[in-house]
A = this chain, B = another copy of it.
Amino acid sequence: MTTGDLTGTGASSGGRTSRTAPKLEKLLSSSAGLMAQRGFSQTSIRDVANETGFSLGGMYYYFKSKEDLLYLIQEKTFSSLLEIQEAAASHDGTAEERLRKLIGNHLAYFLSHANELKVCTFELESLQDERYDRIAVLRRRYFSCMAHAVAEVLGESPNHPGVRHKTLFIFGMLNWIFMWFDPERDEPVDRLGDEMVDLVLNGLNGGKDG
């Protein structure tokens, strides 16, 4: 395995991808669905083959093991979410507006990619060694993006001791949503995002009139 190509297949870089991207998309999205429902440990490569209609040999073109597959899902999901969020973090406007955008984007991404995000959120520990390290780097970048926005609202340095906990509290609110969100009851997500940002910015005391 080279450091430049963790799957050993070239599936995630180079010209080969452009021709095979739609198939890979389908494979990752179906696999994320299975893993989100059953958990990584309870999902077999054979389950993925049954679900997608791929042969075992056909899947081998894209990944060499179940852990490769999990890595590909997490790498793709975090990279695309980070791209959206790092753009939002560099937008003009006030610090509050940037924080509002980060929280709103996360919730919108949750709605459109619930399975992939659930796998990212709950299955980091199922990766090992270099794959773990690479995803941990992306997670730290994501944490840092949110922590900078929190620090900016507070008028503090991102290294201020209070910033870490406050950022973790926000990720708690965001990630716990997997446990209770019901589209029928809790949509639209814009309103939910506004409610969360209002609590984060002004607390219950600031929301007494709302």
Question: Which residues of A come within 8 Å of B, CB atoms?
Answer: 39, 41-42, 99, 150, 153-155, 162, 165-166, 168-169, 171-177, 179-180, 186, 192, 195-196, 198-208, 210
Contacts and interface: CB of A to CB of B under 8 A. Distances in A.
Contacts of A206: 202-203, 205-206
Contacts of A176: 168-169, 171-173, 175-176
A179 B173 CA distance: 13
Contacts of A99: 204
B199 A169 contact: yes
> Which are the 4 A-B pairs with shortest beta-carbon distances?
A172-B176, A203-B203, A202-B203, A172-B173
Contacts of A208: 154-155
A123 to B, nearest CB: 12
Contacts of A168: 176-177, 180
Nearest to A143: B180
A205 B196 CA distance: 14
Given A162-B210, A165-B195, A166-B195, A204 B172 contact: no
B203 A199 contact: yes
**Which of A168, A177, A186, A208 counts the most chain B CB atoms within 10 A?**
A168
Contacts of A177: 168, 172
11 contacts: A39-B39, A41-B42, A154-B208, A165-B195, A166-B204, A168-B180, A169-B195, A169-B199, A173-B176, A203-B206, A206-B206
Given A173-B176, A201-B203, A205-B206, 4 more contacts: A162-B195, A165-B195, A169-B196, A172-B174
A195 B160 CA distance: 13
Contacts of A195: 162, 165-166, 169
Contacts of A174: 172
Contact of A162 (B171, B186, B201, B207): B207
